[in-house]
Amino acid sequence: MKQYIPLNEVQDNLIDQLVKYKFVSRFLKSSDDILDAACNNGYGTLYLTQFCHYITATDDNKELIETAKSKKVSNIEFVQASKFSDKQFDSTICFNYLNKFNRNELSQFLKYLSIITKENGFIFCSISNNKKNYSISDFRKDLDTVFTRSIVFGQIDEIIGPFDYDITNEFIAICIN
């Protein structure tokens, strides 16, 4: 009989994050310069280095950025949160950060991601399924006001797909500028 070792919360969160980054990797080109906004400790960023040209990774937590900088990789620059130029990135990733905003702030932040991402570039973002404060229809409305096209998937543990939104842990959006 197989025995399973239960994961602790940190390990479980890391697996959930890496699933998202693996999902995104299918859409990247080797020539892409991308932004990983809210990169946390940089593990997902490290995974993506094999799929793109260059990554600018940022987080507003100075300690996390310092930890991430210890991973010396030639095609990543880890920086504390900063402003970026218009149309600077081929694709932008922002996972597990949108929940910190109220509805108006979220709309403004999505517009900012659109501004810094090149035309026809991808914006990948996620938000927790918090039915009390923010629904899937709210998320879709906010995406539709900013982006030309968007599609929303659900994430259940290590699987991302077109699930019933009521049972998903998170919403994962792919948006096109």
Output the pTM of the full model: 0.90
Q: Please state, in angstroms and rounded to a whole number, the distance separating the CA atoms of residues 103 and 123.
A: 19
Crossing angle for the helix pair 136-146 and 103-116, to the nearest 10 degrees: 40
The percent of residues in the chain predicted with pLDDT above 90, rounded, is 62
Cα dihedral sign for 78, 35, 170, 4? negative
What digits encode the pLDDT tens for the residues 117-150?
999 999 999 998 876 677 888 899 999 999 999 9
CATH topology of domain 16-22+32-176: Rossmann fold (3.40.50)
155 to 152, 159, 160: CA distances (angstroms): 10, 6, 4
Q: Please compute the mean of the pLDDT values over residues 90-108 and round it to a whole number.
A: 92
Q: Please compute the mean of the pLDDT values over residues 92-96 and round it to a whole number.
A: 95
CB contact set of 62 (below 8 Å; sequence gap of 6+): 80
Q: Tell which phi-psi region holds residue 25, choosing left (phi > 0), alpha (psi between -120 and 50) or beta.
A: alpha
Q: Please compute the mean of the pLDDT values over residues 1-7 and round it to a whole number.
A: 55
> Are 76 and 62 spatial neighbours (Cβ–Cβ below 8 Å)?
no
